[in-house]
Amino acid sequence: MNKEKKGLTLLTSANLPTVFGEFTISIYKSSSPKSVISVLTIGDYKKSPTLVRVHSKCFTGDTLSSLRCDCQAQLHKSLKMIAKKGNGVLVYLDQEGRGIGLTNKIKAYALQDKKMDTVQANLALGLKADQRKYAEAAGILKILGLSEIHLLTNNPDKIQQLEKNGIKISKRIPLEIKPNKFDAFYLSTKKNKMHHILHQV
């Protein structure tokens, strides 16, 4: 396997048994921006087209189980679906708060507490509504030998960016989570202002 591509370097790999299934975790170093990318694989993931989730880090959701977003539920559902299929990949990007970082994310939360939506809050901080980039995710998939995938996502921008960087999305697999009273407005903003494909909002 080619271990380096466009500033991505494989640092280490190990077995990772989880409540969802037995994965292999690999850690890649990114040169621009300097960060680490975690990749979980299971089974014969090179069997094309494989099931893939590209997930952006969410400390408040993934780790602290915040109900302000659907991130943890999407992460867990993705791992369950990939494990059930028996082969697939999860790319975990260090792009907290849609790329604005944890501190700015909490600042945005404070503005949302004052009735701004997630887009308005980011713009009020002088930031873009979504600063995430997916070129490195595409690079990881190419290192893994994947050029055509089934992608778990509701986000058209993610599809466009991956395809722009040479990954064919032959099928989009919806990853919709039922809203709760804390994230319903957040999800409606994602649908109405960021054009996420959501039907339960």
Q: Which residues are catalytic?
A: 130, 132
> Hey, what are 94's tokens?
């260090």
Element (H, E) at 14: strand 8-17
Amino acid at 74: Q
One-character DSSP codes across 116-138: --HHHHHHHTT--S-----HHHH
> Hey, what are 61's tokens?
């959701």
Q: CA neighbours within 13 Å on the CB side: how many for 29?
A: 6
